[in-house]
A and B are shown apart, each in its own frame.
Chain A
Amino acid sequence: MSTPSQKGQLSRDEVAHLAHLARLAVTDEELDLFAGQLAAVLDAVAQVGKAAVEDVTPTTHAVPMTNVVREDVARPSLPRDVVLAGAPAAEDGRFRVPRILGEEA
């Protein structure tokens, strides 16, 4: 299923690398499936390359706006217990996160 790495195609290894970057622990079956499907999608979206875009500025947003600010006034935030009620794990009034340091650290 492995395809050579060139623009417009995605190899199985590249999909695995991208999945890692996106923190997705994909399975072998998914890698096989996605590599083929994403190669087809990339072929389709590569059509954007056909457009003549010299002197064309990119549109990031349909409504041009810059630096939208609100008044610098303190507002109440959500109560802590209400927010922590939705957390997968909480301890001592805080989010409890998984281990972030290695054994040797």
Chain B
Amino acid sequence: MSAINSDVTSMNVDELQAALADGATSVDVTRAYLDRIEATDGELRAYLHVDPEAALARAAEIDAAGDKSGLAGVPVALKDVVVTEGVPTTSGSKILEGWKPPYDATVAARLKAAGTVLLGKTNMDEFAMGSSTEHSAYGVTRNPWDPERIPGGSSGGSSAAVAGGLAPWAIGTDTGGSIRQPAALTGLVGHKPTYGSVSRFGLIAFSSSLDQAGPMARTVLDAALLHEAIGGHDPLDSTSIDAPLPVLVECARRGADGDLSGLRVGVVRELGGDGHADGYEDGVLESFRAGVARLESMGAEVREVSCPAFDLALAAYYLIAPSEASSNLARFDGVRYGLRVGDDGARDLDEVMALTREQGFGAEVKRRIILGTYALSSGYYEAYYGQAQKVRTLISRDFSAAFDDVDVLVSPTTPTVAFPLGARVDDPIAMYAADLCTLPASLAGVPAISVPSGLSEGLPVGFQIMAPALADDRCYRVAAALEAALTADRGDRGFLDQLAARQGSAS
């Protein structure tokens, strides 16, 4: 087969695999993405680090090895929170500028072992703290659907890269919604796995009891493929669950057949339902309801479910996550790696540490460290952190009770479509509200996927499907059914065809 044409950057990964098996080279595929990055990333700023020579050398190595199976030769982008041996890793922070990690995260190592080609490291809110990627120390990333709007966050570099055709898929991390929310706002599929089912070894820690890495992709099938490549037990992560990963790719394929008869779907009242619609855009709720109706048309039994404790998820999350962050970020002390400021021989360790952290951290990180320090301090611990942990238990109980009666829970992924750059960056409370729908699954550790349900005002809307712990396969099955049905309704090849059409008409 002749060399692959420029359409390669609009291919799904299963199509890329077919092209590679059919004779296309990884070098050609990789070069197509590098060309696209060169042409468009000046505006999008999805990547913090791209090394074209290294990527092409790696692709050539895969080609020379002659392995045409699995993910061999397929390019991938990693969020910059994933440490990569010898490749600059900053977590979006100045405090790690120039640092080259001495080892690979398990997620990175597994993708490397599978023969993937690393295209680069993607932009993110500093230490994954944010919902817009505007808190990156290295500038904002733009949304390919509208460059004046945010790509979501904190995995906004990954979402912009995949939606913009600058990577076929990418790894994100999700602490309170940082995979699902950016996926929703850019028309992608994003899945937060069951807590403990994907290794955290080598992810720069933000909130250790919540952080999970997962796939961001053009389709449900691609997401399942990437999830299978990174998931499963890892002895290097002591919170890793020692159980086999459910079969995901096969579930995504079967789900696309569109038969949901017997599936019990619960619509969560507290996430956009009656009496709980404040802050939700009408267009988002309309798209969501149409998605629910589409599930029903495929045979699902739909009922409303109430999870009262979800109303307190935002408050609990913004105590638990900053508390854990204030502890995790103590490691950035200017001693072993990263920045050191003011070490002039006159200043002592404490002063150097304080100056290093002052200059190395951005405003949102400082706010959360201070908030977490407060919530953990004696006299306030019980009222804030302790109480938040009990609310976390109540949220888990609401999930358990709901899953006694239904197989999956659904909600919008975000209350609004992508908002304009700058709209919320100085208002922490407004920024935090972007995570309203994604926080409960994070706090309970259950899996949740976002799949596009349509457009509102020309911008993508995400549909969230939550399942019990370790039942990630249900998320993929239902998401694949909805994706296939909506694609058939539109009569196109996939959701991102609408972005291509929009860009085609704009140019």
Q: Which A residues are within 8 Å of any B CB, using their own CB?
A: 7, 10, 14-15, 18-27, 30, 33-34, 37-38, 40-42, 44-51, 53, 56-63, 65, 68, 70, 78, 82-83, 85-89, 95, 97-102
Contact = CB atoms under 8 A, between A and B. Distances in A.
B209 A24 contact: no
Contacts of A44: 314-315, 318, 429, 432
Closest 7 CB pairs of A and B: A62-B445, A58-B389, A88-B340, A25-B354, A47-B315, A25-B358, A68-B238
Contacts of A33: 363
Interface of B: 99-103, 195-196, 209, 235, 238-239, 241, 309, 312, 314-316, 318-319, 326, 330, 333-340, 343, 345-355, 357-358, 361, 363, 366-367, 369-371, 373-375, 377, 380, 383-384, 386-394, 396, 428-429, 432, 443-446, 469
Given A30-B363, A48-B312, A98 B336 contact: no
A51 B394 CA distance: 9
B315 A24 contact: no
Given A46-B315, A49-B387, A97 B396 contact: no
Nearest to B386: A58
Given A25-B354, A26-B358, 17 more contacts: A18-B377, A19-B370, A23-B333, A23-B357, A34-B363, A41-B428, A45-B384, A48-B391, A58-B386, A61-B445, A62-B195, A62-B445, A63-B195, A63-B239, A88-B334, A88-B338, A89-B340
The SS class assigned to the B binding surface is helix
A51 B429 contact: no
A48 B444 contact: no
Contacts of A98: 334, 340, 343, 347-349, 351-353
Contact of B239 (A27, A30, A61, A100): A61
A100 B312 contact: no
11 contacts: A22-B373, A23-B357, A33-B363, A34-B370, A44-B429, A46-B315, A56-B390, A57-B390, A58-B386, A59-B390, A59-B393
Nearest to B370: A18
Contacts of B315: 44-48
